[in-house]
Amino acid sequence: MSADTKKSNIDIEHAFNTQYGYKAQSIASAHARVNLIGEHTDYNNGLVLPTLLPLTTNVAAAIHSSVPEDTVVVCSTFEEQEDSGRAVGTTHTLSLLEKKRGMWTDYVIASLREVKKHIRGPLPGLALYIHSSIPAGAGISSSAALEVALIRVVKTLLSIEIGDMTIATMAQRAENEYIGLPCGLMDQMVISLAFENHALCINFYDQKQPSYEPAPLFKNHVFLVVFSGISHRLAEGDGGYKTRFAQCQEACKQLHIASLSQLSVQDLQSHTLQDTILCKRVEHVVQENKRVRDAYAALIDGDIQVFAECMNTSHISQRDLYQCSIPEIDILCEESLAHGALGARITGGGFGGAIVLLVHEHKKEKLRNAILAQHKEARILAELTVP
C-alpha cells in the first residue's frame, strides 16, 4: 500500500467517526486507471493495455444496526464534485430494492446488489463513508474504482471469500445490469489485478477467462494524464457509447462472426460490409488490436518511438474511424505533440474526458506549463514515472 493510500485511509477513518459517531469496521480503496492504448476493444473481445493511477476511491464501512437489512446509509464527498448544493455530510438512505435515480448513489446500490447475489442472502444494514480523489467524467474510471472499492470493503467487513477476478466481474455486472452501460471488463479488471509501475496487457478473446501479462513502464519517461475540462457522458443520448457497441454487434451479425477480434488486418480487404459507418468501426477495432500488440512488445523492448507512434495512430483512428473524439480533445493532442510530447491520444470511452501523453522526463515541465497556459479548463490529473 502506498503512503498516499495509507493517508487516505486514516483520513476516511476520521471522517467516518465524525459522521456517524463510532468507528469504521472496514476500510478499502481502489485506484483509478488510464488505458495507455486499446480503446473500445475490450467489449469486442480484443486487447487492451491499461495501468493504475495514483488516485484512489476510499470507502469506510460498518454494520448499522439501526437500519433494516438490504439498506445502506451513505455519506460521500461526491456531493462536492457534483456541486449539488447539498452540504458535505449529507447522508442518503438507500434500499437495494429501489430503482436507479440517475445519481452516483446508483453505483452504490448496483455494487451491493452484486454482493447480495454472491452471498445469496440479505446484507445487514450498512453505514458507508466514501471519499475519492478521482474526478468523475474524466475518463479514468471513477465508476469502476467506486464499484471495486465498495465490493472490497463489504468483502472484508463480512469476511466473504471473493477473489480479485470475481470482484472485477461483479463490478462489471453492476454497471451492465443495473446502471445499464454495456461496458467491457477492462476497467474493473485492471483496478482489481494490476500493480504499480506496470501496465497490464489483457486479452479478452475468451471473455469468461481473459488472459493477462504485466509489462514494466518506461524509465526516464512520463505518462501524463490530462483532463480536457469536458466531462464525458457515456450513458447519455444517441450516437455515443451504446451506439458504438450496437454497431459492432451489427457488424458481427452481418459478417457471421462472434466478435470483431476474430478478424486480422488482412481480413479488412475482403469483408463484405457495405455500410460505411460499420466499415469504419470494424477497421478501428482490428487495427487497434494490432497496435496493442505492437505497443506491448515496445514496452518489453523499451522502444519508446514505436510505442509513441502506436499512441498517435490510435488517436487518429478514434477521431476518424470510431468517431469518439471531439474537436477540443483533438486540439489538445495536437498542441501537446507540438510542445514536446512523443505520443498523445484520447483515453477512456471518449466523447470528452482525458488524454494520455508520453513525454521524456526532461520535457515534462515545459509540456505541463504549455498545456495549462493555453487551456485554462485543462487539468493535470496524474503523472506516472518509474523510479
Active site residues per annotation: 187
Burial class (CB in 10 A: 0-12, 13-18, 19+), 309: middle
Helix H or strand E encompassing 191 = helix 186-193
Distance, CA of 214 to CA of 52 (rounded, Å): 12
CA 58 remoteness from chain centre: 16
- Which of 63, 67, 64, 87 is closest to 77 using CA atoms? 87
| Angle (CA) 49 240 358, round 5° | 30
* Cβ 176 vs Cβ 188: under 8 Å: no
Pairing outcome for strands 354-360 and 47-63: unpaired
Farthest CA pair distance, the chain: 67
Q: Count of CB atoms within 10 A of residue 92's CB?
A: 17
Spatial distance between the Cα atoms of 76 and 91, rounded to a whole number of angstroms: 8
Q: Helix 276-301 and helix 241-255: axis angle, to 10°?
A: 100
Torsion region of 15: left, alpha or beta (phi above 0 gives left; psi -120 to 50 gives alpha)? alpha
Given the C-alpha cell 480523489, which residue does it identify? Answer: 133
* Phi (first) and psi of residue 105, to 5 degrees: -65, -20
Would you state the torsion angle of the CA atoms of residues 328, 333, 263, 41, taken in this order, to the nearest 10 degrees?
-70
What distance in Å separates the CA atoms of residue 204 and residue 202, rounded to the nearest whole number? 6
Q: How far is CA 176 from the centre of its chain?
A: 14
Tell me the three cell numbers of residue 215: 509489462
CB 148 within 8 A of CB 40: no
